[in-house]
Amino acid sequence: MWLSLRSRLWPGPSESEHLREMADVLARGHHVCLAFALQGCAIGFVEASKRIDYVNGTSSSPVVFLEGLYVEPASRRKGVARALVADVERWALAKLRRAVQGA
């Protein structure tokens, strides 16, 4: 499901390249969230990471960076992306709070 949605957002890489990147995303502890319709099919996803390198437009570090966000066309304008971003915000607050507290 994640692979299929990811391939729609980033159509360039091959399936094997996506699978390698997905494994790296999980190994690095980045955040991934899938959204599902009531029928059980995946309709969107978001990937986010905690970045300590320079991120354009920021003046501090670390920052949480939204790497990718995709919602199937038929499910757009229904609050799916908003819910996915809200999930990243919750993750970011917890992640950055731990970083500030030195955990």
Average pLDDT over residues 62-80: 95
SS3 35: strand
Q: Which one-letter DSSP state was computed for residue 48?
A: E
Ramachandran assignment for 48, one of left (phi > 0), alpha (psi -120 to 50 degrees), beta (any other): beta
Per-residue confidence (pLDDT) for residue 7, from 0 to 100? 98
Instruction: Note the pTM of the prediction, 2 decimals.
Output: 0.87
- Asked whether 55 and 19 are in contact (CB, 8 A), the reply is no
The residues that bridge with 69 in the sheet, in sequence order, are: 46
E strands, 16-77, where?
31-36, 42-51, 63-71
Per residue in 4-29, pLDDT (tens digit) is 999 999 999 999 999 999 999 999 99
| CA separation for the pair 48, 56 (Å, rounded) | 16
Average pLDDT over residues 93-97: 80
Per-residue confidence (pLDDT) for residue 58, from 0 to 100? 83
Confidence of residue 52 (pLDDT cuts 50, 70, 90): confident
Number of domains in the chain: 1
Per-residue confidence (pLDDT) for residue 99, from 0 to 100? 53
Per-residue confidence (pLDDT) for residue 103, from 0 to 100? 46
**Residue 77 is part of a domain; what is its CATH number?**
3.40.630.30
- For 90, the domain range is 2-101
Per-residue confidence (pLDDT) for residue 62, from 0 to 100? 83
SS3 62: coil
